[in-house]
A and B are shown apart, each in its own frame.
Chain A
Amino acid sequence: MLEIAISVLIVIGAAFTFIGSLGLARFGDFYTRLHGPTKATTLGVGALLIASVIHFSTRGEGVSLHEVLVTVFLFITAPVSAHLLAKTALHLRVGSLAPPPPRAEAASGAQTDGAD
């Protein structure tokens, strides 16, 4: 029974990770491509980690919770890297399907003020 639950979670995790990567390949421009890896993969990795917690907690060596740390670090770092990539793309004026924001043009001009 437990095996089934773990297997289902692993399959769900793998599926979402795959879909996230697929988004990276299928979307049209840099900014929409960012959406795939930041979202679909968080659930993918989340499901894999839950499977890991269940598997190692039921082997009789006590509760295993350090997967929680992986989740926390992932949730903190994934958006930060996405934000930095998007910011850099705006800065370099990477081509976009959406009309680029007027304020970002100002941002490109105001690059030397050192604010993040």
Chain B
Amino acid sequence: MLRRLLPHPLLTVALALTWLLLVNSVTTGQALVGLLLGWAIPVFTRRFWPDRVRIARPWWLVFFLIKVLWDILVANVAVAALILGGRRFARPAFVPVPLELRTELAISILANTISLTPGTVSAWLSPDRKTLMVHGLRVSDPEALVQEIKTRYERPLIYIFEPPC
């Protein structure tokens, strides 16, 4: 019953926060409108959300986001330097990254993270969702790149979304 009335509690909270940011003011009235929208939208669009999002370790997600933000900053400077100066040092390559993640949301977050961080863009996900093709701007050692992606981003995501249980 509760599941029917409130199919996606996390989405409800996210939508309410989005609403408050959109109207750019925090008042009781706006909070109520936000919560109403946050309740109504998931209920009316429930067919689009077959699986309930489960975040096993929310605090690790916060750490992960901070780490990714820092990496984005570094990535921007590195890519800017590559564009301005060492364009000839660019050594593009496609690198297949074998995935251990299984949930769709986690794979999406990993692909987004890869695209936003140093010199890599996720280019293609194999139909069986077991390989993510990554295009690197400056790849000297493909193995090292795969290892970096797996330890730096995939492992925390497994920890956050798919804890062994």
Contacts and interface: CB of A to CB of B under 8 A. Distances in A.
B147 interface: no
Interface in B66-111: 72-73, 75-77, 79-80, 82-84, 87, 90, 92-94, 96, 111
Contacts of A101: 94, 96, 124, 133
Contact of B121 (A68, A82, A96, A100): A82
B122 interface: yes
B135 interface: yes
Contacts of B115: 38, 78-79, 82-83
25 contacts: A27-B83, A28-B90, A31-B123, A34-B135, A38-B121, A39-B116, A64-B24, A66-B21, A66-B23, A66-B24, A79-B111, A79-B116, A79-B121, A82-B122, A83-B121, A89-B123, A90-B133, A96-B92, A98-B94, A99-B93, A101-B94, A103-B126, A107-B124, A110-B127, A115-B128
A40 B77 CA distance: 7
B112 A76 contact: yes
A40 B112 contact: no
Contacts, number: 131
Contacts of A20: 80, 83
B94 A99 contact: yes
A104 interface: yes
Interface of B: 18, 21-25, 72-73, 75-77, 79-80, 82-84, 87, 90, 92-94, 96, 111-116, 119, 121-129, 131, 133, 135, 137
Interface in A83-116: 83, 86-87, 89-90, 96-101, 103-104, 107, 110, 113, 115-116
B59 to A, nearest CB: 19
User: What's the interface size class on A, roughly?
Assistant: 35 or more
A68 B88 CA distance: 36
Contacts of A22: 83-84
Contacts of A97: 92
